[in-house]
Amino acid sequence: MVKTKKPVPKKEAKRIEITDKEFEEKTIELAKTGLTSEKIGEKLRKEGIHPQEYKKKISIILKENNLYASPDMKNISDRLERIRKHYEKHKQDKRSKREVDRVFAQLRKAKKYFRI
């Protein structure tokens, strides 16, 4: 006789109802901590606030308050800083030197694409 496992019920997060104004304030507060619009959405969902239920998108709220940074640009520049920091410690690491050049080229192309 084969035993079957019972399905484990999913743990649903409690939904929190807040006003549109409170949603905007919460979004701006999270953006000032250095999070991108993608990470803000993830954090709000973990708290039980679903961004799709509100009128404005997170990126639009950030653009209106001059806090928007392209997630692609931010990720590339963060990666470049990590690699540069590594290369400063390890001068003999030729692969990291090549990686600095490669990632810098990516950043330059992204700046040209986003017209920054």
pLDDT, tens digit, 9 for 90 and up, residues 12-50? 667 788 888 999 999 999 999 988 899 999 999 998 888
pLDDT over 80 at 5, yes or no:
no
- Confidence tier at 1 by pLDDT (50, 70, 90): low
Q: What is the DSSP letter of 4?
A: -
* Closest-CA residue to 58 (of 80, 35, 79, 81): 35
* Structure letter (DSSP) for residue 8: P
Domain ranges of the chain: 20-64, 71-114
What's the chain's average pLDDT? Answer: 89
CB 7 within 8 A of CB 25: no
Asked whether the predicted pLDDT for residue 115 surpasses 90, the reply is no
